[in-house]
């Protein structure tokens, strides 16, 4: 086969411009080009159509960069021919190109091995957090939240843990929804649109936001029902963790969350250190409800 996996990764400004138009025409839930995916057959037909357009027709397309008007048909034609030849199952667009690839090649192996999503989340969330060390404590505390957790899910959980205090400066009435909106469009790398939606929903839930019809419409079909539930469970657990520990790592490290078939228990050593017991019970009940 011409491809080692059924995915073609499209890089370069011409193809990014095509992705922007495709996103706009399809009213995709997330308008970020990086990580945007499209089925091969759909994109091939789209590229073929664009390749036959006049400059005036190109200029009338939504979100097309003005400097790409003259060259977009050529970029579309090349993509069409490539997809016809390679026949991948889907196409994934990247905002990176040869320049970034060269820079990546200059990194030492240890730096190359780092997870770009987790590194990005930590660089954004930790400097603005009131207690930067609390992120790692949340990571430890939620280790047993999802039995059988695989590595791809673990990295998302740790990413969310790094972002749990990103909006503490915002008014409490807008923290949840504004964090959700920002994360849907934030310039993360090493992340698919589905993973981006997961992180956004989890932080929405962490701030007590409701996963209502408007939120579901915002993410379209990017998450399955089980993924959406998992994101909410994580967010409600993090909200509980912040509440009962007052964001103090030492208190969180002395607590365990026990999830049974019929009950959810929060066990805390030195429980006299727990503030606002009524609020903690409310958060615990919220978590229990989503766990079912």
Q: Are residues 198 and 230 in the same domain?
A: yes
- What are the structure tokens assigned to 267, written together? 């066990």
Q: What angle do CA 11, 42, 48 make, to 5 degrees?
A: 75
In a domain, 276, yes or no: yes
In a domain, 228, yes or no: yes
In a domain, 225, yes or no: yes
Q: Are residues 41 and 150 in the same domain?
A: no
> Would you list the DSSP string of 70-122?
TTHHHHHHHHHHHHHHH--SEEEE-S--HHHHHHHHTS-HHHHHS-HHHHHHH
Q: Are residues 81 and 152 in the same domain?
A: no
Model pLDDT, residue 231: 98
In a domain, 178, yes or no: yes
In a domain, 1, yes or no: no
What CATH number is given to the structural domain containing 157?
Answer: 1.10.3210.10
In a domain, 109, yes or no: no
Domain that holds residue 40: 7-101
Q: Are residues 137 and 246 in the same domain?
A: yes
Q: Are residues 30 and 87 in the same domain?
A: yes
Q: Check pLDDT > 90 for residue 6.
A: yes
CA separation, residue 96 to residues 35, 63, 131 (Å): 11, 19, 33
- What are the structure tokens assigned to 281, written together? 């019970």
Q: Are residues 199 and 286 in the same domain?
A: yes
- What are the structure tokens assigned to 156, written together? 């998302």
Q: Mean pLDDT of all residues in the chain?
A: 94
Q: Check pLDDT > 80 for residue 2.
A: no
Q: Which of 101, 125, 156 is the last residue of a domain?
A: 101
Angstrom distance (rounded) from CA 179 to CA 164: 10
Angstrom distance (rounded) from CA 238 to CA 139: 10
Q: Are residues 261 and 186 in the same domain?
A: yes
Angstrom distance (rounded) from CA 157 to CA 5: 27
* Composition of the chain by helix, strand, coil, percent to 5: 60, 5, 35
Q: Are residues 62 and 136 in the same domain?
A: no
Average pLDDT over residues 123-152: 96
Q: Which of 44, 72, 101 is the last residue of a domain?
A: 101
Closest CA to 231 of 204, 210, 207: 204
Which tens digits make up the pLDDT trace of 233-289? 999 999 999 999 999 999 999 999 988 878 888 888 876 666 667 888 899 999 999
CB 93 within 8 A of CB 101: no
* Those residues with Cβ within 8 angstroms of residue 148's Cβ, 6 or more apart along the chain or in another chain: none
Which residue, chain included where needed, has tokens 């990176």?
96
In a domain, 107, yes or no: no
Q: Which of 45, 69, 101 is the last residue of a domain?
A: 101
Q: Are residues 62 and 172 in the same domain?
A: no
Q: Are residues 65 and 187 in the same domain?
A: no
In a domain, 50, yes or no: yes
Which tens digits make up the pLDDT trace of 54-106? 999 999 999 999 999 999 999 999 999 999 999 999 999 999 888 888 999 99
Q: Check pLDDT > 70 for residue 49.
A: yes
Q: Are residues 178 and 209 in the same domain?
A: yes
Which tens digits make up the pLDDT trace of 169-191? 999 999 999 999 999 999 899 99
Q: Are residues 167 and 197 in the same domain?
A: yes
When divided into structural domains, the chain yields a total of: 2
Average pLDDT over residues 154-177: 97
Model pLDDT, residue 272: 63
What CATH number is given to the structural domain containing 67?
Answer: 3.30.420.150
């Amino acid at each position: 086969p011409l491809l080692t996996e059924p995915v073609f990764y499209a890089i370069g400004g011409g193809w990014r411009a095509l992705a922007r138009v495709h996103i706009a025409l399809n009213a995709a839930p997330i308008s970020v080009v990086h990580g945007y995916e499209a089925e091969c057959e759909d994109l091939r037909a789209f590229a073929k159509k664009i390749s036959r357009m006049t400059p005036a027709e190109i200029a009338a397309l939504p979100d097309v960069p003005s400097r790409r008007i003259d060259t977009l048909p050529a970029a579309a034609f090349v993509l069409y021919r490539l997809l016809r030849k390679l026949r991948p199952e889907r196409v994934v667009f990247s905002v990176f190109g040869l320049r970034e690839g060269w820079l990546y090649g200059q990194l030492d192996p240890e730096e190359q091995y780092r997870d770009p999503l987790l590194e990005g989340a930590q660089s954004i969330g930790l400097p603005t957090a009131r207690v930067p060390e609390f992120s790692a404590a949340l990571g430890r505390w939620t280790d047993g939240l999802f039995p059988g957790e695989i590595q791809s899910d673990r990295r998302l959980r740790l990413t969310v843990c790094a972002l749990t205090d990103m909006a503490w400066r915002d008014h409490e009435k807008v923290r949840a929804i504004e964090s959700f909106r920002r994360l849907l469009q934030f310039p993360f790398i090493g992340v698919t649109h589905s993973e981006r939606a997961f992180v956004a929903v989890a932080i929405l839930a962490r701030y007590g936001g409701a996963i209502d019809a408007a939120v579901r419409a915002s993410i379209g079909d990017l998450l399955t029902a089980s993924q959406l539930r998992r994101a909410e469970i994580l967010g409600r657990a993090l909200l509980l963790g912040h509440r009962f520990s007052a964001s103090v790592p030492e208190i969180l490290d002395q607590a365990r969350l026990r999830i049974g078939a019929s009950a959810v228990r929060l066990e805390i050593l030195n429980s006299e250190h727990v503030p606002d017991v009524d609020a903690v019970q409310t958060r615990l009940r919220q978590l229990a409800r989503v766990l079912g």
